[in-house]
Structure 1
Amino acid sequence: MHALAFAPDDASAMPLLPVAPDGLDAALQALPPEQGAWARALGFKGNAGEVAVLPGEGGRIARALIGRGSPEARARTRFALGQGASKLPEGTWRLEGSLDEREAREAALGWLLETYRFTRYRDGNGPKARLVAPEGVEAERLEILARAEALTRDLINTPAADMGPAELEAAARGVAERFGAQIGVVTGDDLLDANFPMIHAVGRAAAPHRAPRLIDMTWGGEGPRLTLVGKGVCFDTGGLDIKPSASMLTMKKDMGGAANVLGLAQAIMGLGLPLRLRVLIPAVENAIGSDAFRPGDILRSRKGLTVEINNTDAEGRLVLADALALAAEGDAGLTVSFATLTGAARVAVGPDLAPFFTDDEGLAAALARGGRDWADPVWRLPFHQPYESMIEPGIADLDNAPAGGMAGAITAALFLRRFAPPRYCHFDIFAWSASHAPGRPKGGLMQGARALLAALPEALDS
Structure 2
Amino acid sequence: SALVEQAARFQSSFCEEAALGGARPTPLLVLTKSSFPKWLQEQSAERRGWLKSYDMEKFKAGKLLALPAERGEGEEGGVPFMYVFTVADRKSPYAYSSLPGSLPPATYALRFHGEEVGPDDLSTAVLSWSLGAYKYERYKKKKTKQQQQQGVDKRPVLSLPVGFSVKGEGVGGLVEAIYMVRDLITTPAEDVGPAQLQECVEALARECGASSVRAIVGDDLLKENYPQIHAVGRAADPERSPRLLELCWTSPSANS
TM, length-normalised to structure 1: 0.42
Per the alignment, residue 142 of structure 1 pairs with 171
Q: 2 CA distance for matches of 1:46 and 1:81?
A: 17
**What CA distance in whole angstroms lies between the structure 1 residues aligned with 2:60 and 2:162?**
24
Partner of 1:118: 136
The corresponding residue for 1:51 is: 64
Unaligned runs of 5+ in 1: 226-330, 332-462
Correspondence for 2:196: 167
Q: Which secondary structure state, in structure 2, belongs to the residue aligned with residue 48 of structure 1? A: coil
Paired residue for 1:64, among 58, 83, 90?
A: 83
Q: 1:120 to 1:50 in 2, by over 3 A?
A: same
Question: Are the equivalent residues in 2 in contact too, given 1:85–1:115 (CA < 8 A)?
Answer: yes
The equivalent of 1:401 in structure 2 is none
Q: Which amino acid aligns with 2:159?
A: V
The alpha carbon displacement at 1:154 in A equals 0.8
CA deviations 1:60-92 (Å, max 9, x no partner) are 4422111113x6xx79x7412232222222222
Which TM-score applies when normalising by structure 2? 0.71
Counterparts in 2 of 1:183 and 1:126: CA distance versus 1, 3 Å: farther
Residue in structure 2 matched with residue 300 of structure 1 by the alignment: none
In structure 1, which of residues 8, 16, 19 is the aligned counterpart of residue 16 of structure 2?
Answer: 8
How far off its partner does 1:204 sit? 1.7
Give the share of equivalent positions with the same residue, in percent: 32
Report what 1:17 is aligned to: 29
Q: Does 1:176 align with 2:200?
A: no
Aligned residue pairs: how many? 222
Kindly indicate whether the alpha-carbon contact (under 8 Å) linking 1:81 and 1:111 is maintained by their aligned counterparts in 2. yes
* 1:129 aligned partner: 156
In structure 1, what is the equivalent of residue 97 of structure 2? 82
Partner Cα separation in structure 2 for residue 212 and residue 178 of structure 1: 25
Distance 1:47 1:134, change over 3 A: farther
Report which structure shows greater RCO (CA 8 Å, sep ≥6): 2
- Establish whether residue 153 from structure 1 lines up as the match of residue 182 from structure 2: yes
Aligned to 1:422: none
Separation of aligned partners in 1, 2:43 and 2:141: 40
What's the Cα RMSD here? 3.4
State the Cα deviation string for residues 251-289 of structure 1 (Å, max 9, x = none). xxxxxxxxxxxxxxxxxxxxxxxxxxxxxxxxxxxxxxx
Contact 1:166 1:210 in 2 (8 A): yes
Q: What is the rounded CA distance, in whole Å, between the counterparts of 1:200 and 1:107 in structure 2?
A: 44
Instruction: Determine the structure 2 residue equivalent to 1:213.
Output: 243
Q: Secondary structure at the match of 1:150?
A: helix
For 1:314, the equivalent position in structure 2 comes to: none
Which segments of 5 or more consecutive residues in structure 2 lack a partner in the other structure? 1-5, 143-151
Which residue matches 1:203?
Answer: 233
User: Structure 1's 155 and 111: CA in aligned 2 closer, same or farther, altered over 3 A?
Assistant: same
Distance 1:185 1:67, change over 3 A: same
Q: Distance in 2 between matches of 1:113 and 1:151?
A: 12
CA deviation vs aligned residue, 1:93-137 (integer Å, no higher than 9, x gap): 222222555554322310122111111122598772222236997
**Equivalent residue of 1:195, what SS?**
coil
* Residue of structure 1 in register with 2:3 after alignment: none
Report the Cα distance in structure 2 between the residues aligned to 1:126 and 1:25, rounded to whole angstroms.
38
Task: State how far apart, in whole Å, the 1-side matches of 2:122 and 2:83 are.
Answer: 17
Deviation at 1:51, TM superposition (A): 0.8
For residues 275-311 of structure 1, give each alpha carbon's deviation from its aligned partner in whole angstroms, at most 9, with x where no partner exists: xxxxxxxxxxxxxxxxxxxxxxxxxxxxxxxxxxxxx
Aligned residue in 1 for 2:220: 190
Residue 110 of structure 2, aligned match among 87, 95, 103: 95
Q: Which residue of 2 aligns with 1:301?
A: none
Between the aligned partners of 2:44 and 2:122, the Cα distance in structure 1 is: 25
Query: What is the letter of the counterpart of residue 206 of structure 1?
Result: A
Moved more, 118-127 or 167-176: 118-127
Distance 2:131 2:29 in 1: 20
